[in-house]
A and B are shown apart, each in its own frame.
Chain A
């Protein structure tokens, strides 16, 4: 059983960061869904409720999503899901249940970079940046590859590019963590292919994207297949209770090819 000794509810990001870094065992409190699982002693839990980070804001060229926004808000945001073929809603809607998604936060989902994260996979296939209090602004792709350190994720910024996108995931039970997640998108000739739950955190298949970029506007089906094969080849896969590495690799090929096909079919 975990122990939490103190709660702090800072009024500024600066104070939140100071509290977070004041002691090794201090943490930011996100949705707290899995807090109970641990057995650690937390000196101070930093609650961000007073920082006004629960928002989805739409601007001319981008969206901003605050760290304390719930996954349920992502799912039901009409504005957000007018864009990117609605993949953000699609990516979160299979996560356990409504009451869980009302609790789970964007900040925790993105910052923790969980391997099984559906949402991270979808974001990675878009033009996404994040803003860290200390680390500043950086692309999500760069952040995903960074080692863990203490910082405060303030918000997620998604650029309103006219990407068409597709999201696919495979689960054993429908309320389980995914066996594999795939998000693909296209902006003119530029492709992004993100594959998550490998079972490690989502990653972009860069070589496959390059191959597709060279194929021009109307990608021939053969090239889609090749790109899917390449994605399965270039990304590392592992095993966990849900599936073997070998199955994930084969599955990656199928799902990426389906995703690419779905996107090319979009007008």
Chain B
């Protein structure tokens, strides 16, 4: 293959690396009003009065809006296909504020200093209510986070809002209680996974203006332009056709930008004032007033027979969705969906529990989307089982894991189309030196080196729901324009889609211009999330390119007056099979837009997958623990990946390395924390530590390609699965080093050291 699999550089690489003005803020009009938000200092309160007199007196203030000035339609900011499974539990501004940082008033002024000065002069009287801060106390708490009666759900998600239950979910196959009784060994443990911040380098930002027809144009750093268009239209009570969303280059997303942020506020200011408006979230606002990963408590029971076959699995989950229910029910479901199928020698499995409302920042989508949390619990328990059985944890997994062509209790008879997880484990063992190093060795200075492991699966797109459309146009000069509504947030997906199209059309990569994304121009795409772009949008690209190629051949046949089947197309020239006639693609393209051809050629496809084939990873950690301090040095992390066919060797590798680093952050450093009043303490990069260059050690990545029959050129996803293994693998390595089991992330020196003292 010409392009698929090659380590092609990103098409935007030099521009973005060398600081060309291609991001949202760089493109904002200089005269845009600056939007700032007055935020609640209380975790839970009702606004009794707001006095704007002094704020309006500040020179340069153009507009101040409170809950009295905004539409009263509840909506969700979750970037999901309509009808969203997330509850419509938000107002643009509400009289009730539900977390520290919830929006109280919108101020727009000529510049940032003026807007900030005006914020300070708004006087608000609150009736302070008792907040629900501990998610384990949320159900049945005497405070109800959402007392309003106009909250709406599109589906029965098991909401019981008077008891602070946002959603309820249960999956069950077989008789778990009975099977657990039949097991020789039952591992029982409660695991806690913390809230995690996305910490993308470009904070949330959007600017808005009215175009020449009075339509609202939103330029936003978002992963989900079409969903933003729909949300904003609903919240601002406009027809969606009156809203246009443009996505420039994005400085990282990680799922954070799958939830709307400032678009509604800036848009409202523009509608009210008629002027362009720019809203840039500060780093602190990004930490405290957007979303984070759902913190979860997972009570897990895992039963096995004495030969090491896992026979029963029961996970009871409690998920903290914070003040609003974005992605609450779906992250909850994914947690079970991506753990129950992994080991298929089970006779009964169950996954159940609730997502609950609390008076904290809402949770949302973050790379891994529940699977990360579930993987920590399941894989920690499997490692514990290996220890109890005195069996090699790699062998235990090889014995139990689902293999290509097999099914499992929750697959309803469907079989797994592709997997090389067994080979991933074998290769990972070799790369980390498992047989020599497992479980530990003590060094001369007393430090202990040990290794640990975990495996994981994710999905590729959302089965049966999300569809992507792609249009590829043959331009008048013989070049192609690929139009997509997907959103390359740095992953290089624009380049990967171009590679797929170039492969089919046998053209060079620089002959394909990728346009993304503009809801006025792009065909519909839900956006880039749920590990969907390479797999779902990639398949649409493949099909659109094939359609276009066929049209080129058909039109070439016609123009050269050949009988069908007598023409070959090599990407540059259309040639009769007998060599008698030929025409360049460029010439054909020219003819198609002239009177001669009268038919500009486009390939178009809409694709949605009925299944979401899982990519797999086997992750291995080598740590050095200092028993005198509990300090854990991560020496080496090996990840062996089955993402089907690797579409771009470099970009896939970087995705894995970056995801592993983010997983290392969750495993060892990152923890969204609140004080006893519900104020977030980890609200800057000083207090919320993402891994720095010295923290990540050496990351070794290898691929064991499978061939996924439903994916473009056999590809599956790689975007999310990469974050899942570090927490359990590092916890396992720490256990193997010093015998301390950390069940509550992150794994800090203190937890290790104090664990050793016990």
**Which of A's residues lie within 8 Å of B, judged by CB?**
1, 3, 37, 170, 172-177, 179, 241, 243-244, 246-247, 250-251, 254-255, 258
Contacts and interface: CB of A to CB of B under 8 A. Distances in A.
B48 interface: no
Q: Which of B116, B690, B692 has the most CB of A within 10 A?
A: B692
Interface size class of B (residues with CB under 8 A): 20 to 34
B757 A250 contact: yes
A173 to B, nearest CB: 4
Interface string B647-676: 000000000000000000000110001000
A170 B694 contact: no
5 contacts: A3-B113, A170-B629, A173-B692, A174-B695, A243-B748
B29 to A, nearest CB: 23
Contact of B681 (A173, A241, A246): A241
Contacts of B668: 172-173
B169 interface: no
A173 B689 contact: yes
Nearest to A175: B692
B754 A174 contact: no
Contacts of A177: 686
Given A176-B689, A255-B629, 19 more contacts: A1-B112, A37-B684, A170-B631, A172-B669, A172-B749, A173-B669, A173-B689, A173-B691, A173-B692, A174-B692, A175-B689, A177-B686, A241-B682, A243-B748, A244-B750, A247-B754, A250-B753, A251-B629, A254-B628
Contacts of B690: 173
B2 interface: no
Contact of A170 (B681, B691, B749, B754): B749
Q: Is the interface of A mostly helix, strand, loop or mixed?
A: mixed
Given A172-B669, A172-B748, A1 B113 contact: yes
A97 B631 CA distance: 21
A172 B689 contact: yes
A254 B629 contact: yes
Interface in B678-716: 681-682, 684, 686-687, 689-692, 694-695
A247 B629 CA distance: 9
Given A1-B116, A241-B673, A175 B694 contact: yes
Nearest to B36: A1
Interface in B322-341: none
B694 A179 contact: no
A246 B748 CA distance: 15
A184 to B, nearest CB: 16
B281 to A, nearest CB: 14
A233 B629 CA distance: 17
Contact of A247 (B673, B681, B750): B750
Interface in B348-374: none
A179 B686 CA distance: 13
A147 B61 CA distance: 43
A251 B628 CA distance: 8
Contacts of A173: 668-669, 689-692, 695
A152 B687 CA distance: 30
Contacts of B687: 241
A176 B628 CA distance: 20
A254 B113 CA distance: 49
A22 to B, nearest CB: 25
A176 B668 CA distance: 13
Contacts of B750: 179, 243-244, 247
Contacts of B691: 173
Nearest to B675: A241
Contacts of A175: 689, 692, 694-695
B405 to A, nearest CB: 44
Nearest to A94: B694
B581 to A, nearest CB: 64
Contacts of B748: 172, 243
Contacts of A1: 112-113, 116
A144 B628 CA distance: 29
A1 B669 CA distance: 28
Interface string B727-758: 00000000000000000000011100110010
A237 to B, nearest CB: 13
Nearest to B116: A1
Contacts of A37: 684
A256 to B, nearest CB: 11
Contacts of A254: 628-629
Contacts of B694: 174-175
A187 B225 CA distance: 67
A170 B673 CA distance: 21
